[in-house]
A and B are shown apart, each in its own frame.
Chain A
């Protein structure tokens, strides 16, 4: 095995590295199966795949759109020829994207596409205290893991979708692909409605309240009551303990800015200014005690709502809404290599999201080294190249997912 220092020297954007990866490891067959949604590939029976757009980012950062292929075989050939540093998946169009220039614009429309969600660590910069910008560690990954947990449950339970594929974005975020037939066929208007339903936090850098959770002074709607239940414990562990979000002057000022009761704010500020570094859970408890002591019932109610909103603001998934609203949006394909980290965009099991450690995701350098090592001690067993590497469990997960997406013969339920 190569040492990790040597692995780090492998350039994930070098042509030979990419070529080797695409030629020997990238799961084109499974990708085809997933996107084609139909039966196994036969001579001419590729169904949806030829209508799907792929966009390539070449090594010189040139961007090539509207590529399409009859099947994975042609795609693999072209990808090996271009050796792009990464590529994205677009929608299924009404005509083959490669013919875009020759078909009439009215006959070239984005028609169908998986519903996608993008959660990026940058949107958590205002609240995470361990890292900033492009950095990520196991500790702040916890924000992502709460987001995955809440979103995965809400989408399955409330929207009734089951074909969810979570994919690590290679550095500091995660993507979700929903392939259920109904989701695949949603109009832009319906996509927008779904995203808005699931969007509670308005992203941005300015401090202050970013939660849009309830109508007036009403209770939380059922979906957010569920969410609150799910994040209560992580809020204690992550926000109050690990990240200690209110353990500094700046941190507790942010908290105070979210409290609508002016008198309560000034009492707390006075107290906390004495000990600005006291732990978050102490401050949280002090705030709770103050609320309990409020005489006025309405004031208590208002503060109870404010506390719920604070919990949501610190833990509810922060979505990049624009990604999800339109069918023609492009999103990086699973199993691409992140050009900066060299890590593979691998699928993640949402049930085991808490155990997931971004630092343990295989890099392309590591995979190619594993492949070389396995070649030198071939024990005669016939295996595909990817099966000899630590990519194996991820591709198996992907294959299973692709199998679940196969559509049954069409049944017309229109009315």
Chain B
């Protein structure tokens, strides 16, 4: 038996109080929705530990993938509900004949295990918070309205209902933020709309655009905006909790039996479905080869490794990544001997200690191995076309797009071809001719990936609209 309680008490000693001491009274989960402010404090098996996390990970990976595929909110919601039904059912209080407590325990446990796995780098934290917040939103929106009300009332969200006297005092200001398209509509809406106030620090993203009325450090919000407040609170608290956890966990602690599991989980997420979504074809090809053959040649490792490094993969993550990727192919002894040095070398930690930059397009054009696929497959157009289709058909590239790409390849304008692929696969954000935005074309694989990630970040959650 593994004792989760012991684990958390160890964490507390390491200074995790900020995170875990927020625990409030009740232990059993009386609501379907949870802000996860209370870690599991009961005995669990290593098996439970792993299953709950893996099952949750499937759902989060699907959510990431939805975002990467630009699924609409309704589609994302449907897909997530289906996945949850399969791996992580979570029924409302009205459901009969179901062990609600065990469902909710699994939900809690999985969440907290993944916190441990994903607190380790800023990038992982960001992605975890985003996926978890989406999951929370799906559940919040689909929650039974009575139970949702009960959930809201049960927690101290630190929001205060604005009394009628105060409401009238600020009538002129509050009307500005009431729902409606015209002054008259807003004036009418003001009368029936209840207002709440929260500390402004809870909802910085509504404050910065002056979308709320501010007075004495409180932001006044119409009732229909309560949901965005809750999402913001969920996101912000999870963010803070992860940060606290990351500081509490020693980076390399080979002692604990959990580390291999946690490494594995984090790696599953890193090397999971959507991460290579942002890569240009050259790096997609290397990634696919590595996944398929569990091995790539020296130059492939070099180009792909440097690319990942610039993308933000840390040295310890890089070693884990490559070790996992080669697992099954090479033993870890051999791995350590042959590759550890190379990886450390490319991070500038061995040999001449140069921090090598990633290869740019020009360098990849002239590379004999693992170079620019547009250039290398120039003389076998069928192979290039099938590579393009199999790689990017999930991102909106169709047969009809191929001729113009191939025309550019024939003209040896490889970067134009690559830029066009970017436009097609990011058609939600860039129009034809805009390239990576502002007409910039591809000159570096990392520029391609960075821009793609940036676009995705910009188009996250739908923002509150006052108009």
Contacts and interface: CB of A to CB of B under 8 A. Distances in A.
Interface string B109-140: 00000000000000000000000000000000
Interface stretch (B197-205, B281-289, B387-395): B197-205
Given A190-B201, A193-B205, A157 B172 contact: no
Given A106-B246, A414-B22, A161 B217 contact: yes
B217 A182 contact: yes
Contacts of B231: none
B204 A415 contact: no
B257 to A, nearest CB: 23
* Interface range, A side: 20 to 34
Contacts of A186: 201
10 contacts: A157-B215, A159-B200, A160-B218, A182-B199, A193-B208, A218-B176, A221-B210, A223-B210, A224-B210, A415-B156
A190 B158 CA distance: 17
Contact of A218 (B205, B216, B467): B467
B231 to A, nearest CB: 15
B207 A194 contact: yes
Chain A binding surface SS class = helix
What 6 A-B pairs have minimum CB-CB distances, sorted nearest first?
A160-B217, A193-B204, A193-B208, A196-B208, A222-B173, A158-B214
Contacts of B201: 182, 186, 190
A319 to B, nearest CB: 13
A29 interface: no
A160 B467 contact: no
A197 B214 contact: yes
Contacts of B247: 106-107
A197 B208 contact: yes
Nearest to A158: B214
A218 B205 CA distance: 20
Contact of A193 (B24, B156, B207): B207
Given A107-B247, A190-B201, A222-B176, 14 more contacts: A106-B247, A157-B215, A158-B217, A160-B217, A193-B205, A197-B209, A197-B214, A215-B467, A221-B210, A221-B213, A222-B213, A414-B22, A415-B24, A415-B158
Nearest to B199: A182
A216 interface: yes
A117 to B, nearest CB: 15
A196 B204 CA distance: 10
Contacts of B216: 157-158, 160
Q: Which of A189, A216, A218, A221 has the most B CB atoms < 10 Å from its CB?
A: A221
A216 B466 CA distance: 11
B399 interface: no
Nearest to A219: B176
Interface of B: 22, 24, 156, 158, 172-173, 176, 183, 199-201, 204-205, 207-210, 213-218, 246-247, 251, 466-467
Given A222-B176, A414-B22, A215 B214 contact: no
B217 A197 contact: no
Contacts of B251: 106
A182 B200 CA distance: 11
B185 to A, nearest CB: 12
Contacts of B213: 221-222
Nearest to A109: B247
A192 interface: yes
Nearest to B172: A222
B12 to A, nearest CB: 15
A159 B209 CA distance: 15
B214 A223 contact: yes
Nearest to A106: B247
Contacts of A190: 201, 204
A327 to B, nearest CB: 14
A219 B247 CA distance: 47
Nearest to A180: B217
Contacts of A415: 22, 24, 156, 158
A350 B200 CA distance: 25
A159 B217 contact: yes
Interface in A53-112: 106-107
A216 B205 CA distance: 19
Contacts of A222: 172-173, 176, 213
Contacts of A182: 199, 201, 217
Interface in A150-193: 157-161, 182, 186, 189-190, 192-193
A49 B217 CA distance: 27
Contacts of A107: 247
A192 B201 CA distance: 11
A159 B199 CA distance: 9
